[in-house]
Structures are given as C-alpha cells and as structure tokens.
Structure 1
Amino acid sequence: MIKIRLARLGAKKKPVYRVVVADSHNARNNGRPVATLGQYDPAKGIESLSVDTEAALAWLGKGAQPTETIRSLFKKAGIMAQFEASKK
C-alpha cells in the first residue's frame, strides 16, 4: 500500500519532516520514497508546511492513503477540502 507520511530529518530534539509518498512496508527513513511532496517544521507550526498541492491531490486521487498526522495537517492546510471537492 502506498502512504503519504512524514520522514524525520533534523538534529536531535529539533525535528524537521519531509512529506513523502512511500510504500507502507518500508521503514520510515529506510528505502527511497516514491515522491517527495514538501516539508514541515513542527516548531514553527502549520505555517511552515510547504506542500506541492497539485502533486498531493494527484497522489490522493491515485489512492495513496495519508497517515493520521498527514490527514490532520492537510485538513488545516485545506488540501483535504480540495480533494473532497474534486471527487464530487
């Protein structure tokens, strides 16, 4: 199964995450992601979420399943609302 999830980067106790599309059977940071959609810095809040919206909508349309964290970030950014509107 293909999932949209976070891959951890950054120093100890100062995480920065990449938003990636990856096979769910691979470990979080092991293996090559299928695609990289953007970045997220939790220390700066939702304003730091930078995602390629067109690519994210394309992957959601292809059936990629977002994790719970990604789903909540996408809801706050308005991407899930765009996806729901495009389905109708």
Structure 2
Amino acid sequence: MLPPRALLSWHSCQGPMRSSRSSPCDKAAKCDFYTSALRCMRNSRRYAHQQWACSMLAIRLRRCGARGRPAYQVVVVDSRRKRNGVFLCRVGYYNPRLKSAQIDTGRLRLWTERGAAPTRTVARLLHRHAPGCTAAARNSGSVCLHWQ
C-alpha cells in the first residue's frame, strides 16, 4: 500500500516509483530516477534516429473512401508500414472513379530529394497527372523521377 502523501510517477524504462516529499533518501531516489529517465530518453532518440536513417521511404497510395467507392491519398511512408498505417506526409490524392488527381509537386520534389522512391503504381499516376515530372522504370525494378 502506498502512503497517502506519496507521489506515483511512471517511466517506460523503470515502471512505477514511489517518492515522498519529506525524506532526503527519497529525494536522492527521485534524482536517480530522473537521471535514468533522461538517459533512456537520450537512448530512444539515438535509436529513433538510427531507425530513421536505415528505413526506406516510399511514396505510395493509401486507400480511403467508402466501401465500393475507393479514393486514394498519395503519401510518403516508411516502406515497412502497412498500407493504411501511419504516414509522414500527404503529397496528393487520386480518385479512380473520376480519373482525377491532384499532386503537390513541391512536396513531391522535396521527398524525392530526401530519398523517397515511388511505387510503380504511383509512378504511372505521376506520369499521367503531375506536370513537370516524368517517371521512368529501370530494369532493376526501381523507379526514378526526372524533373523537367
């Protein structure tokens, strides 16, 4: 049981910790807790940066719309994510029923310069609908964009 004056704090690396306001021993434990929490946050930032550097960015379609009425968003996403998972940036949209697309070429150019590669479907879509952008597929299966 926790005493009534105790504070309960939580950190993902250590779990719940009890600290009292009056005891100097608890203040030292609280200080140790915060230093370990900062250490964990620094390590998680390093890990997140390494994971970001190693991941491959893809420009692909994300399905939205009602059942039987598909619409797609053109998004920049980590290639390991699911089709409708978390994305980094929305570049445009495509409605196959109306055969219309709107693509922000400024954002598209920014993400391709950062290393994002479009899928084959998005490359065909860009070839048809994005002005100033032509997509060419190489024999290796990767798609590259050429800006005019």
Over 4 Å off, 4+ runs = none
Counterpart of 2:80 in structure 1 is: 25
Q: Equivalent residues in 2 for 1:1-88 (5 A)?
A: 1-30=56-85, 32-45=86-99, 48-77=100-129, 78-81=131-134, 83-85=145-147
TM-score by length of 2: 0.52
Q: Cα distance, 1:33 vs. partner?
A: 0.5
Query: 2:62 is matched by which residue type in structure 1?
Result: A
Name structure 1 gaps, 5 residues minimum.
none
Per-residue CA deviation, residues 44-78 of structure 1 (Å, 9 max, x unaligned), is 11xx2111111001111221010111000111123
The percent of aligned pairs where both chains have the same amino acid is 35
Do the aligned partners of residues 69 and 23 (structure 1) sit closer, same or farther apart at CA in structure 2, a change above 3 Å counting? same
Give the structure with higher Rg (CA): 2
Note the residue ranges of structure 2 that are not aligned, 5 or more in a row.
1-55, 136-144
CA offset at residue 85 of structure 1?
Answer: 3.7
Structure 2 SS opposite 1:21: strand
Aligned position for 2:38: none
For 1:36 and 1:62, the matched residues in 2 are separated by: 15
Alpha-carbon distance change, 7 to 79 in structure 1, aligned in 2, over 3 angstroms: farther
Q: 1:43 to 1:37 in 2, by over 3 A?
A: same
Alignment TM-score, normalising by the size of structure 1: 0.84
Q: Which secondary structure does the structure 2 equivalent of 1:3 belong to?
A: strand
- The alpha-carbon deviation at position 79 of structure 1 amounts to 4.5
Matches of 1:79 and 1:73, distance apart in 2: 13
* Cα-Cα RMSD: 1.7
Q: Secondary structure at the match of 1:43?
A: coil
**What is the number of residues matched between the two proteins?**
83
Q: Distance in 2 between matches of 1:85 and 1:26?
A: 28
> What residue identity is the alignment partner of 2:133?
M
Higher relative CO (Cα under 8 Å, sequence separation at least 6) belongs to 1
